[in-house]
Chains A and B, each alone.
Chain A
Amino acid sequence: MKNISSAEILEGIKNNDRSIIELIYNKYFSTISKFVQNNTGSESDAWDVFQEGIVIVYEQSKTPDFKINNTFITYFYTVCKYRWLKTLRDRGIRKYEFYDDNKELENIGFNSQNNQFDEVAEKERRMLLYKRNLDKISKECQKLLKLMAKGLNVNEITLQLNYKSSGFTYKKRRICKHMLIKKIKQDLNNNQINL
């Protein structure tokens, strides 16, 4: 990691560069894990925080002109720290945190006045939950829903997936989406996550 700048790491995350992701995981997961576990979290909490932290970084890396002012680990550690503090608050372990005029959050590119970080973190948590549930449905449904989300119309999907008619595609789409939504709602409920 010695000669890799924060900008290069950001670029690696944005482009899913395996060597960069591997370096980040090997070098920093234990640091984040220790922080979470030293603050009443479990190993599985630590993994959630790490994963969500990376996804938050990925989203930030797509923002034009975004740059890290510190080293990558200081920035990433702060992201994960505030992600974990939010979880602790949600679990009622910490009643509140003063976010107003929080330099640490502003240093990592978030406005501390309007809970911007919490909103972003919560959205990314939901996104990961959607993804987890998408992985649970059949490969065929996954393929269909991906094509649909890409903006292909029913006729195009029918052709691409070699279905017998567009009527069949409509029906299949409805069933697949219904299955996915059912699983997602159950998971949202179990984890007490609101939209």
Chain B
Amino acid sequence: MKTNKNTGDLEAFLAGELKEGELWEFNKRLEADLQLQKEVQLHREINQAISDEGKWALVNTLEKLHRHNKKSKRITLYSWKTQAVAASIVFFIMVGSLLTSNYFNTGMSNEALYNNYFDVENTLLTTRSEHSEEPDIIQEGLDNFADGNYELAIQVLEQKESNMMSKLYIGFSHMKLEDYDKAIVSFKEIIEDNNNLFTDQAEWNLGLCYLVIDDTKQAKEVFTSIAKGKTTYKKRAQEILLEIR
């Protein structure tokens, strides 16, 4: 109960309720007692925390959002269980068909080819030197990309998504994160725009994305089109076409 009494004294001290003599005595104790000093600090901080209604309203909003998000994730997970069974069946059928083909017997795999040809670092230097006048947000996104913070680069660059260079680096970032479906979307949008300096790079990398996800038919189509054209990727496209099985 002593602690309870101490809490009362402390509260009275903090609320300015101690009478002159009591206050003098308390201050004297406070001066000499390190533990009491810590207690006072703790009580002051707690009072400060309790009174900051703005902060707690903010934290409550965040907590609600987080709880709601976790709940919806769980629901999605349950429905995924049934989908997972179907997916496993498809997976075994695919493995079976791959084993009956010559896939594992000769040449480089699509993934190995992709790794041989995907070289965004060179592209980065070229692009940056040509566009040093771009607004800060794009530069910031490129810096994040160069630092290897690909998630962050996407977040920043998405704020300038209508800019095709931004879109190109969103695509590259997705490639780095091995999220090829999203990279494909970005590159297709650049190609469809058809009014920018980045369509060549977008086409080449679109082909690489198809290659790494083993959509060899689409990859060949893209590289064939590049090989017939006059861009700087022509030679590389001809080479890769010889290597794709």
Contact = CB atoms under 8 A, between A and B. Distances in A.
A77 B136 CA distance: 17
Contact of A31 (B58, B66, B136, B155): B155
Contact of B140 (A1, A74, A130, A149): A74
A16 B136 CA distance: 28
B155 A127 contact: no
A134 B59 CA distance: 13
Contacts of B11: 148, 173-174, 177
B148 to A, nearest CB: 11
Given A13-B58, A16-B54, A131 B49 contact: yes
Interface string B39-82: 00111011111111111111101110110010000000000000
Nearest to B49: A130
B151 A130 contact: no
Name the interface size band of chain B: 35 or more
Interface in A127-153: 127-128, 130-131, 134, 145-146, 148-151, 153
B58 A16 contact: yes
Contacts of A49: none
A25 interface: yes
A161 interface: no
A95 B16 CA distance: 44
Interface string B8-51: 10010001010000000000000000000010011101111111
Interface in A75-130: 77, 123, 126-128, 130
Given A31-B155, A77-B149, A184-B46, A170 B8 contact: yes
Given A25-B66, A71-B156, A16 B15 contact: no
Nearest to B61: A21
Contacts of A67: none
B155 A2 contact: no
A139 B211 CA distance: 61
B62 A25 contact: yes
A164 interface: no
Interface SS of chain A: helix
Contacts of A58: 54-55, 58
B122 to A, nearest CB: 25
Contacts of A31: 151-152, 155
A47 B66 contact: yes
Contacts of A1: 158-159
Interface string A44-66: 00010011001100110000000
Contacts of B152: 31, 73-74, 77
A148 B15 contact: yes
B42 A181 contact: yes
Given A127-B45, A145-B50, A16 B7 contact: no
A55 B46 contact: no
A51 B49 CA distance: 15
Contacts of B57: 16
B3 interface: yes
Contacts of B58: 13, 16, 21, 54-55, 58
B161 interface: yes
Nearest to A133: B46
Contacts of B46: 130, 180-181, 184
29 contacts: A1-B158, A14-B54, A16-B54, A16-B57, A31-B151, A50-B62, A54-B58, A55-B58, A58-B58, A73-B152, A73-B156, A127-B45, A127-B48, A127-B52, A127-B55, A130-B46, A131-B59, A134-B50, A148-B50, A153-B15, A177-B7, A177-B11, A177-B43, A178-B4, A180-B46, A181-B42, A181-B43, A195-B38, A195-B45
